Structure 1
Amino acid sequence: MSERPISPEVAASPSGAGVQMHASRLFVSWLAEQHASIAFTTYQGGKIFFVGVNANGELAIFNRNLARVMGVAVHEHTLWIATLWQLWRFENVLKPGERYGAYDRYYVPQLAYTTGDIDVHDVGVDADGDPIFISTLFSCIARPDPKYSFTPIWKPPFVSRYAAEDRCHLNGLAMRDGQAAYVSCVARSDANEGWREHRRTGGLIIDVASNEIVCSGLSMPHSPRWHNGTLYLLNAGTGEFGRVDLQTGQFIPIAFCPGFLRGLSFSGDYAVVGLSMQRKGSALSDLLLDENLAERGIQARCAVQVIDLKRGDVVHELRLGGAIEELFDTAIIPGARNCGSVGFISDEIRHTLFLRE
């Protein structure tokens, strides 16, 4: 267990594995003002990172290795984290005001559902505090099951059956009032990986309750989120963060971010967005994003950006370099200053005990 601080303008390697991070000048101050920490995941690097502020007012970076980690959901003192073949519940074992070393949140893995490799993307938490998730491989919303790999609870109306074929690349989940409200998918397809032929303009947002398509013509949309009465999303194939006008069905861009966008969370009047670099010859390339980047004379970057919802400006950034080039999800942990977690590999997990009083 270690804390890896970096100053706001100095690059560092918080993982010891060739990862550098560089924060914009006022990023630390913003984190302190929000009274929150940020978690973000990278399946490419197999890590979850916690970003906060240490006791000296410096940026604190903490990470743990998790196999192909993707979606993460925060619910009170719980983190639900999707990995290659499991859905994990990590629990904060500290009471309010209590610390464990440098940390005011300390997450311990307490429960895991074995799902198999069903390509879990976004994770949500319902009104009962139970997790639900997107299985992209099976094109459905599902729940973990104590006996089976998962229990499917919804699929798009144009998908004829549950099959391990990634037919439409269902990927994003927006929760509203404790219910699954909207999903994103790359195309209206009912064939094995049929979405790949429609990456530029085939993207959809679907209302789960009504089965209606509420927005279309998108390019690889990800991370729909309901926040303060508005449906936001990442139009990843164009590099645009924006909102959906549910009256007209139009996507309204708010900000351009130079990267393939995945992972959206909110802290008050700010959005936190994950940016990825593009893999040539992959689903992340040959998109309108390429043209938008060229028009602005920039290259795609790997970063976490903070966007002011009132002005549409990118106001803060944590840029990643080195071994990590792609992110998947972001999450805000409200009230947390500096987060840590038990790992699986060292003996530390054997000796970390927290007892009910």
Structure 2
Amino acid sequence: MMIQPATKADTNAQQEGIREVRYEYSNNLVNILNRLNISLFFSTYQAGKLGVVTVKNTSLNISFHNFERAMGMAISLTQMAVGGKDWIYFLKNDSNLAPQIEPPGSYDACFLTRGAQYTGDISIHDLAWGSQELWMVNTRFSCLCTLSNNYNFLPQWRPSFISAIAPEDRCHLNGLAMVNGMPKYVTVLGQTDSPGGWRDNKASGGCILEVPSSKLITDGLSMPHSPRVFQNLLWVLNSGYGEIATVNLASGKQEKIVSLPGYTRGLALLGQYAFVGLSKIRETAIFGNLPICDRFKELKCGIYIVDLQTRQIISCLEFQEGIDEIFDVQISQCSSAMISGPYVVTDGANQIWSLPASSRSI
């Protein structure tokens, strides 16, 4: 797996100065993205960025956009949602406008910020579009919730062992898997009902629960994240070991698919490939004393691609400087997607105006 070095200067001149982001990527990454006809999106709360990875002129291109504490993302062909510190941001894909953006013909999707809803700091983790609305993992209040114009959020479900809706992060509910447009499985870091109680057994107290029954599907996981149902299998990132695993729904038996050289968090699956976010571990109060610390001398940060048929790492995008953690990884089935975020000036970009055709004759 050959690596191509590259450097990206992410300019936030007005407020943050210049964040220098250095990265390398495998020589085959461009071909993989082109063959699948996709763009990659990733979020990093440490840097407060959302990154978009595309191919331009046979080379990899990454654009960075400011979202305060960017975490979970939900993306469809027509819209996306981004979870931030206090807000959920909503972006609409103007596919008619996209081909007109300079230079013409460069983009086939343009996600424009069209609104946001204030939730307060509820420690939003995974987001997912349901059949009727957006579902959110509300980690601070240990519940799944939806949005309301009248309240900060609407609690919709909590694990049966959580006795009350309270801002105490009792079990660190973090991951969400959808089936038929509704929540079906969640990951928690501990089956605990006391404030921050999951921390006492973080290395092996993680589990997957079924929704709405709260049935235990499997346990003994190390800080699990990003459950997904794909090709009739339940997938999960056993983050404290740096692994991708599958879980037998009948027996709860876990099967390791591959080990990766980082704290695994953020999983997107397409065809025979898994796109996995990897993070370094800097903050030892939460992430210290995990099994992965003894397995690798140095942990990596980036997005790794795994061939699920061969169970081998086949490609990667690796950050050497400027970004130490990845929270979420999502795929847009558009080959050259772009976004115009809520802080366009800070991003160093030009404002994109979207107006109805009738306004041109006024």
- Which TM-score bucket, shorter chain as reference? over 0.9
The residue that corresponds to 2:22 in the other structure is 20
Q: CA deviation at 1:342?
A: 4.0
Task: Give the conservation status (yes or no) of the 8 Å contact 2:112–2:339.
Answer: no
- Sort the Cα spacing of 1:354 and 1:61 in 2 relative to 1 into closer, same or farther, 3 A: farther
- Sort the Cα spacing of 1:228 and 1:351 in 2 relative to 1 into closer, same or farther, 3 A: closer
Determine which of 266, 269, 279 is the counterpart of 2:269: 266
Instruction: Report the AA paired with residue 271 of structure 2.
Output: G
The residue that corresponds to 1:40 in the other structure is 42
Q: CA deviation at 1:104?
A: 2.1
Task: Give the conservation status (yes or no) of the 8 Å contact 2:98–2:107.
Answer: no
Instruction: Report the AA paired with residue 149 of structure 1.
Output: N
TM-score, normalisation: structure 1:
0.92
Q: CA deviation at 1:335?
A: 2.5
Per-residue CA distance 1:80-116 (angstroms, 9 max, x = gap):
1000000111111123983422322211111211000
> C-alpha separation between the residues in 2 aligned to 1:309 and 1:110?
37
Q: CA deviation at 1:186?
A: 0.2
Task: Give the conservation status (yes or no) of the 8 Å contact 1:103–1:340.
Answer: no
> C-alpha separation between the residues in 2 aligned to 1:99 and 1:22?
31
Per-residue CA distance 1:208-258 (angstroms, 9 max, x = gap):
032201010101000001112111010001111111111210221101011
Structure 2: unaligned runs, 5 residues or longer = 12-18
- Of stretches 188-197 and 223-232 in structure 1, the one that deviates more from structure 2 is 223-232
Task: Give the conservation status (yes or no) of the 8 Å contact 1:71–1:82.
Answer: yes
> C-alpha separation between the residues in 1 aligned to 2:9 and 2:329?
18
Map 1:187-202 onto structure 2 (within 5 A). Answer: 187-202=190-205
- Sort the Cα spacing of 1:27 and 1:218 in 2 relative to 1 into closer, same or farther, 3 A: same
The residue that corresponds to 1:158 in the other structure is 161
Per-residue CA distance 1:161-188 (angstroms, 9 max, x = gap):
1000000000000011111010000000
Task: Give the conservation status (yes or no) of the 8 Å contact 1:305–1:317.
Answer: yes
The residue that corresponds to 1:5 in the other structure is none
> C-alpha separation between the residues in 2 aligned to 1:132 and 1:349?
32
> C-alpha separation between the residues in 2 aligned to 1:112 and 1:343?
9
Map 1:104-253 onto structure 2 (within 5 A). Answer: 104-128=108-132, 130-253=133-256
Instruction: Report the AA paired with residue 90 of structure 2.
Output: R
The residue that corresponds to 2:335 in the other structure is 336
Instruction: Report the AA paired with residue 73 of structure 2.
Output: V
Map 1:320-335 onto structure 2 (within 5 A). Answer: 320-335=319-334
> C-alpha separation between the residues in 2 aligned to 1:61 and 1:262?
20
Cα RMSD over matched residues? 1.8
SS of the equivalent of 1:111 reads strand
The residue that corresponds to 2:15 in the other structure is none
Determine which of 259, 263, 283 is the counterpart of 2:286: 283
- Sort the Cα spacing of 1:68 and 1:223 in 2 relative to 1 into closer, same or farther, 3 A: same
The residue that corresponds to 1:31 in the other structure is 33
Q: CA deviation at 1:21?
A: 1.5
- Sort the Cα spacing of 1:288 and 1:107 in 2 relative to 1 into closer, same or farther, 3 A: same
Q: CA deviation at 1:352?
A: 1.7
> C-alpha separation between the residues in 1 aligned to 2:160 and 2:314?
40
- Sort the Cα spacing of 1:27 and 1:138 in 2 relative to 1 into closer, same or farther, 3 A: same
Instruction: Report the AA paired with residue 127 of structure 1.
Output: S
Q: CA deviation at 1:349?
A: 7.0
- Sort the Cα spacing of 1:198 and 1:99 in 2 relative to 1 into closer, same or farther, 3 A: farther
TM-score, normalisation: structure 2:
0.91
Task: Give the conservation status (yes or no) of the 8 Å contact 2:226–2:237.
Answer: yes
Q: CA deviation at 1:354?
A: 3.5
Q: CA deviation at 1:291?
A: 1.6
Task: Give the conservation status (yes or no) of the 8 Å contact 2:190–2:202.
Answer: yes
The residue that corresponds to 2:14 in the other structure is none
The residue that corresponds to 1:4 in the other structure is none
- Sort the Cα spacing of 1:343 and 1:315 in 2 relative to 1 into closer, same or farther, 3 A: same
Instruction: Report the AA paired with residue 194 of structure 2.
Output: A
> C-alpha separation between the residues in 1 aligned to 2:28 and 2:94?
31
The ranges of structure 1 where at least 4 consecutive aligned residues each deviate by more than 4 angstroms after the TM superposition are 347-351
Task: Give the conservation status (yes or no) of the 8 Å contact 2:108–2:334.
Answer: no
Percent identical among aligned pairs is 32
Per-residue CA distance 1:136-181 (angstroms, 9 max, x = gap):
0000000011111000000000000100000000000001111101
- Of stretches 173-182 and 342-351 in structure 1, the one that deviates more from structure 2 is 342-351
> C-alpha separation between the residues in 2 aligned to 1:73 and 1:161?
27
Task: Give the conservation status (yes or no) of the 8 Å contact 1:183–1:208.
Answer: yes
State whether structure 2 residue 104 is matched by structure 1 residue 100: no
Task: Give the conservation status (yes or no) of the 8 Å contact 1:99–1:105.
Answer: no
- Of stretches 337-346 and 119-128 in structure 1, the one that deviates more from structure 2 is 337-346
The residue that corresponds to 2:16 in the other structure is none
The residue that corresponds to 1:63 in the other structure is 64
Per-residue CA distance 1:273-302 (angstroms, 9 max, x = gap):
000000242312211111222xxxx41110
Task: Give the conservation status (yes or no) of the 8 Å contact 2:75–2:332.
Answer: yes
